[in-house]
Amino acid sequence: MSTAAVDTAPRAVGLDPNRDPVNDFSIVAATVNGSGSQTANSTLIRALFKMGIPVNGKNLFPSNISGLPTWYTIRVSKDGYIARRDTTEVLIAFNQQTAAQDLAALPVGGVCLYPEDAKFERSRDDVTYYPLPVKKMIADLGVDKKLVDRVANMVYVGALAQLLGIEREAIREALSYYLGGKQKAVELNYNVVVASADWARDNLPKQDPFRVERMDKTEGLILIDGNTAAGIGALVGGMTVTAWYPITPATSLADALNEYAPKLRKDPKTDQPTYAIVQAEDEIAAIGMVLGAGWMGARAMTSTSGPGISLMTEFVGFGYFAEVPGVIWDVMRMGPSTGLPTRVSQGDVLKAYYLGHGDVRNICLLPGNVQECFEFGQTAFDLAERLQQPVLVLSDLDLGMNNWMTRPFEYPTTPLDRGKVLDAEQLKQMENWGRYKDVDGDGIPYRTLPGNENPMASYFTRGSGHNENAGYTERPDDWIKNMARLARKHETARTIVPKPVVDRREGAKVGIIGYGSTDPAIVEARDRLHSQLGLETSYMRLRALPLGEEVRQFVAEYDRVYVIELNSDGQMHKLLQLHTPEYATKLVSMAHNDGLPLTPRLVTDQINEMEQTR
Amino acid sequence: MTTAAKPGGPPAPKATVNKAGLSKPDYRGLPSTLCAGCGHDSIASQIIQSAFELSLKPHQIIKLSGIGCSSKSPAYFLSRSHGINVVHGRMPSIATGAMLANRNMLAIGVSGDGDTGSIGLGQYKHMLRRNVPMVYIIENNGVYGLTKGQFSATADLGQKLKYAGTNELMPIDLCLEAIIAECGFVARSFAGDAKQVRELLKAAMSYNGTAVLDIISPCVTFNNHAESTKSYTFGKEHEEILQDINFVQAYEEIEVDYEPGSVQEVKLHDGPTILLRKVEARKGGKGEQEGTQATNGEVRYHDPTDKLAALRLLEEAREKQEFITGLLYINESRPTLLDLERLPETALIAMSEEQLRPSREAFAAALAEFA
Ligand SMILES: Cc1ncc(C[n+]2csc(CCOP(=O)(O)OP(=O)(O)O)c2C)c(N)n1
Ligand code: SF4
């Protein structure tokens, strides 16, 4: 399956003659998984970024270590749009297996670079071809045989640099970034880039309109993926215990913790770590360690994906009922079991919210960009400790594993919220104390931590029925009372979880609700609906469950509210209908699930069509 | 029938006070709700006694358990300690997280043979592999008590149960599993042998690493019939005691009243000592004299620092369906998980906000990498 092939758009749409192709097009590098194309593609995107041009890169890759086709798409957008585009104009056809399909997906007037020494059929005459003598070029450079595979992809970087106008110095800087400044490796790769660029200058007359020009739109920004942002956020947010089990696409979050914890979290006096990171034997053990540490009073977390949260179910329900804090980053991927482990989806929403047995409703945070991945690194702990329950953060593969531009994260200004914890001194001032008493009327009880020396402090934490004093009980009235308090706590949660971000447009009759990594596509689609079709829309981006009163108000305001999400059944749409039963028929599900990041066109076309048929 | 008192109940009238300034009732828990005569209650009594004798501070102990009758018992001892009763078979991971978070606590875990040997076998093995510092007690009755009498994975071959019929599967020996997982403290005991349970418990509580105590603890309701190898009768008649064990705390002077030469002394971390006197194996049923020699006519001597000897001993016992109790294996040289994580002496939960956050400089430097 090619990325472009799944686009619903007809192929030969042609290039918009009114569109200025400078700094406004997309590139797709189709290569073989494991062929070392990652350095080449990363270098390309960062070089563009260093030229001040807004970019977004997405790796659309198969579940495979090496050998299968993979596509890296780079969107170059002078207007700063960062969603996946439905058409890519510049094709690097470096995978023979998919070359024919990839070529077929190019728009009229598109560009195709391919290795001249590989089998390739020029089956279209409405695109520009640039054949590259890759093998010969590498041979002429006398590259060490063992390194040939690693640097061969740099040939297309060099040729593209020449053809599009990517500055050589920017490429050198980007190479240095990815190769950790290792001079020898940088030189080797850079030499290939220069040789290829020179060859292209002398042998490939420019025949296409696509170009880049230096801008100043990325100044001060950083380029980072969501999982790394989340890892750094957690380290800033006071994480002390992490237990995790490998699973795509969550592994890189734990990798980031392993990489940055030693840099960020060593005790300056003793030089010892102020954290522990453990690779657990499975997800059940991972969440067990998290809850054990959370029960003790530590800020503990795990990172996983759908199959992992299902294994954690029993423990999460236990944590909810026994009121033990802990944080779970669910970097969502597609389908059951292994499903499509390298494809994006927002399919865990209902499961995550209700994860557990009996009447469980969890707190779910919904980061919509890398800034929020960073911020929620702390927010999740604050909420878990304040509310004394597991908190799930629903990120996804697109957000977590791809690189995004963002302003640099800010050092937090708010202190860590450790919630209602009573120490031995505070207990002394009290006549009596009950672990599960609702003293403040907000449903949130006070807790003591193990190690508290006040004889009143100890209690027994259990998943079985308990009364206000944590005593075992099976009395129906005790059960009802406790569940009513937990419901009250959930109402409190409604008011303290991150509020949605809302953009209301005057005169809009149509509302849009979205969340997570679909945001860039929705933002761009709204601009298009406005400029091309004259349709004004208001937009609410959800950032947490449970849903709050402001969501009801938003739905109330519009004639129709489209709920956009990446799953097949419209999971958030269903939660919204439950939340606002009186407006259930206003809510229109626009659930879409093909494993790829959402494109603006999908949103525009569907809303347009539905509005037309009204 | 054991004569050990049921834990809980009213406090004793005249209480003597230990070095922690506490009396024995301070170590008690709620009255037990287990069946009268259940072996688990005898073990709870010895936990109370051991903690009292060692003058432990209850607030520095955490009690953990999984699911089962056995796992209920933490409620019946040390009511001044924080306790947690988690999900079936997964207590080891909770203990791991808890000890990472606060290394200054003493963790006492109580589990059953179903909890540990079936659903929890994976977590058990990984806890051992990590050497999480804790006392891990298996109250082993060869049966599922709380779900009313199914076979557990430690039930001996050929055992019969009223509803479950005859067990045709080989048992899992949780002590063997512990030793091959490099556990550094492995002992087997019998709930009916209060003194041995107590001395082993005290040694285990003083050990730095995972200390496994597999205690045969008869289920009077579902598995105490005459042919059961996990019954009181069987235990009393077949128990072969490896050593006479005495635990000596660091602050007590060691007085050896054994014959010199026959006593093995094992020094634990921070000074306490275990004294082991070899005993001649007892054999046979009622009426046989104490002190007779083992079947093959030899006096059995076991060196608990010899891993292969411990494995051989258990393997032989398994073949012959012998019930051997005592300290099977001890090794203090393995680093614990906390050592491997290079955790500072200050517990992670005691870290100040300053220690929990990176410096502004380190933070800025990390972000600069992405520019
Ligand atoms: C519940 C769950 N957790 C994690 C994963 C991710 N996962 C896929 S393969 C794998 C490891 C396989 O290891 P191994 O059996 O050694 O095979 P190898 O890849 O080394 O050949 C993991 C953890 C998963 N698919 N499901
Ligand atoms: S059923 Fe057996 S194990 Fe459970 S409490 Fe009764 S005697 Fe003990």
Determine the atom of ligand 2 nearest the C-alpha atom of B139: 3
> In terms of CA atoms, which chain B residue is nearest residue A314?
B87
Cα(A523)–Cα(B355) distance, integer angstroms:
40
pLDDT at residue A375 is higher than 90:
yes
| A359 and B CB contact within 8 Å | no
Contact between chains at A318 and B356 (C-beta distance less than 8 A): no
Mutate to test the interface with B, among A460, A466, A469 (most CBs of B within 10 A): A460
pLDDT tens-digit profile of A430-476? 999 999 999 999 999 999 999 999 999 999 999 999 999 999 999 99
Cα A334 to Cα A402, A596, B15, B92, distances in angstroms:
16, 10, 64, 31
| pLDDT above 70: percentage of residues in chain B | 88
Distance from C-alpha of B149 to C-alpha of B167, rounded to nearest angstrom:
12
Mean pLDDT of the region B331-358: 96
Mean pLDDT of A242-263: 97
> What was the pLDDT predicted at B278?
81
Nearest ligand 1 atom to the CA of A310 is: 1
**Widest Cα–Cα separation across chain A:** 89
B285 pLDDT band, cuts 50/70/90, is: very low
Neighbours of A8 (CB within 10 A): 11
**pLDDT in the model for residue B261:** 61
Question: What is the pLDDT, as a whole number, of residue A460?
Answer: 97
Residue whose C-alpha is closest to residue A123's, from A147, A106, A144? A106
**Distance from C-alpha of B90 to C-alpha of A292, rounded to nearest angstrom:** 11
Cβ of residue A147 closer than 8 Å to a chain B Cβ = no
Q: Is pLDDT at A322 greater than 90 in this prediction?
A: yes
Question: Model confidence at A12, in pLDDT bands (50, 70, 90)?
Answer: very low
The closest ligand to the CA of B38 turns out to be 2
What is the band of A176 on the pLDDT scale with cuts at 50, 70, 90?
A: very high
What band does B252 get if pLDDT is binned at 50, 70 and 90?
confident
pTM of the model: 0.94
Residue A583: strand, helix, or coil: helix
Which strands make up the sheet holding B273-278, listed edge to edge? Answer: B243-248, B273-278, B263-267
Least reliable range by pLDDT among A145-159, A270-284, B77-91: A145-159
Judged by CB atoms closer than 8 Å, whether chains meet at B353 and A238 is answered as: yes
Q: What residues of chain A lie within 8 A of the CB of B103, using their CB?
A: none
Residue B280: per-residue pLDDT? 64
Q: Which residues of chain B are within 8 Å of residue A453 when distances are taken between CB atoms? A: 57, 59
Is the minimum distance from the CB of A273 to ligand 1 under 6 angstroms? no
Half-sphere exposure in the Cβ direction for A147 (13 Å, CA): 15
Residue A3 pLDDT greater than 70, yes or no:
no
Radius of gyration (Cα) for chain B, nearest Å?
Answer: 21
Distance of CA B150 to the CA centre of its chain: 23
The tokens describing A325, both together, are 């804090």
| Dihedral of alpha carbons A465, A467, A472, A473, sign | negative
Cβ–Cβ of B356/A274 closer than 8 Å? yes
State if residue B34 touches ligand 2 by the CB under 6 angstroms criterion.
yes
Angle, helices A283-296 vs B121-130, to 10°: value is 60
Rounded to a whole number of angstroms, the distance from the CA of A46 to the nearest CA of chain B is 9
Tell whether A260 is within 8 A of chain B (Cβ). yes
Beta pairing class for A276-279 and A241-244:
parallel
Res B293 pLDDT > 60: no
A338 C-alpha to center of ligand 1: Å? 9
Residue scoring higher pLDDT (A431 or B290): A431
Specify burial of residue B37 (Cβ count, 10 A radius: 0-12, 13-18, 19+).
middle
Q: Considering only CB atoms, which chain A residues are within 8 Å of B362?
A: 263-264
| Structure tokens, A494 | 């409604």
How much is the pLDDT for B6?
60
Mean pLDDT of B339-344: 96
How far, in Å, is the centroid of ligand 2 from the Cα of B108? 20
Q: Which is more confidently placed, A146 or B219?
A: B219
Q: How far is the CA of B238 from the centre of ligand 1 (A)?
A: 46
Contacts of B80 in chain A (CB under 8 A): 455, 458
Tokens, residue A137: 């070029």
Q: Which chain A positions have a beta carbon within 8 Å of B76's beta carbon?
A: none
**B329 close to ligand 2 (CB < 6 Angstrom):** no
Q: Is the pLDDT of residue A13 over 60?
A: no
Interface contact flag, B90 A285, Cβ < 8 Å: yes
**Residues paired with residue B245 on neighbouring β-strands, in sequence order:** B276
Q: At what angle do helices B39-53 and B194-205 cross, to 10 degrees?
A: 50
Residue having the nearest C-alpha atom to atom 9 of ligand 1: A247
Closest to A362 in 3D by CA, of A410, A312, A432: A312
Task: Show the CA angle centred on residue B71, arms to residues B273 and A319, nearest 5°.
Answer: 110
pLDDT of residue A64: 82
What's at A125, amino acid-wise?
D
Please check the confidence at residue A241 and state whether its pLDDT lies above 60: yes
What is the Cα–Cα distance from A124 to A132, expressed in whole angstroms?
Answer: 18
What single DSSP character describes residue B163? T
Please judge whether B94 and A295 are an interchain contact, meaning their C-beta atoms are less than 8 angstroms apart.
yes
Q: Nearest CA to B66 among B50, B45, B89? A: B89
The Cβ-side half-sphere exposure at A126, using a 13 Å CA radius, reads 12
- Compare all CA atoms of chain A with the CA of B76 and give the residue at the minimum distance: A460
User: CB of A137 within 8 Å of any CB in chain B?
Assistant: no
Output the six-digit token pair for B270. 């921070």
Q: How far does residue A337's CA lie from ligand 1's centre (Å)?
A: 11
Tally of residues, chain A:
614
- Mean of per-residue pLDDT scores for chain A: 94
The pLDDT of residue A5 is 31
Task: Say yes or no: CB of residue B143 within 6 Å of ligand 2.
Answer: no
Comparing alpha-carbon positions, the chain B residue that sits nearest to A374 is: B367
Distance in Å, alpha carbon of A402 to nearest chain B alpha carbon: 13
Tell me the average pLDDT across A536-557.
98
Q: Which of B248, B269, B271 is nearest to B258 (CA)?
A: B248
Q: Which of B81, B94, B371 sits opposite A222 (nearest CB)?
A: B371
Nearest atom within ligand 1 for CA of residue A307? 1
Contact B98 A292 (CB under 8 A): yes
Residue of B nearest to A404 (CA): B370
Chain B touched by A314 (CB under 8 Å) = yes
Closest CA to A291 of A545, A493, A462: A462
* Mean pLDDT across chain B: 90
Q: Which ligand is nearest to the CA of B143?
A: 2
Q: What pLDDT band is residue B41 in, cutting at 50, 70 and 90? A: very high
Q: Does A212 touch chain B (CB under 8 A)?
A: no
Asked if residue A307 has its Cβ within 6 Å of ligand 1, the reply is: yes
A108 neighbors A102 (Cβ within 8 angstroms):
no
Note the ipTM here: 0.94
Res B319: pLDDT: 87
- Tokens 């380190």 correspond to what residue? B362
Cα A249 to ligand 1 centre (Å): 12
Report the alpha-carbon distance of residue B137 to residue B112 in Å, rounded. 8
A278 at interface of B, judged by CB pairs closer than 8 A: yes
Split at pLDDT 50, 70, 90, the class of B259 is low
- Measured from the alpha carbon of residue B221, the closest ligand is 2
Q: Which residues of A touch B90 (CB under 8 A)?
A: 284-285, 288, 315
Judged by phi (left if over 0) then psi (alpha if -120 to 50, else beta), residue A240 lies in alpha
pLDDT in tens, A556-610: 999 999 999 999 999 999 999 999 999 999 999 999 999 999 999 999 999 999 9
- Contact check, Cβ <8 Å, B363/A236: yes
Buried b (16+ CB within 10 A) or exposed e, B239-268: bbbbbbbbbbbeeeeeeeeeeeeebbebeb
For range B59-66, the mean pLDDT: 98
Q: What are the tens digits of pLDDT across the range A39-81?
A: 999 999 999 999 999 999 999 888 888 888 999 999 999 999 9
Question: Do B97 and A241 make contact, defined as CB atoms within 8 angstroms?
Answer: yes
Nearest CA to ligand 2 atom 2: B219
Which pLDDT score is estimated for A4? Answer: 34
The kind and range of the H/E element at A503 are: strand A501-503
pLDDT, tens digit, for every residue of B170-228? 999 999 999 999 999 999 999 999 999 999 999 999 999 999 999 999 999 999 998 99
Q: Which ligand is nearest to the CA of A306?
A: 1
**How far does B210 lie from chain A, in Å, by closest CA?**
16
Out of A85-89, A261-265, A443-447, A497-501, pick the least confident.
Answer: A85-89
Report which bound ligand comes closest to the CA of B140: 2
Q: Evaluate: CB of A246 within 6 angstroms of ligand 1.
A: yes
pLDDT above 90: percentage of residues in chain B: 81
Half-sphere CA count of B249, side-chain side, radius 13 A: 13
Contact residues, chain B, for A288 at CB < 8 Å: 86-87, 90, 92-94, 96-97, 123
Whether B104 has a pLDDT exceeding 80, the answer reads yes
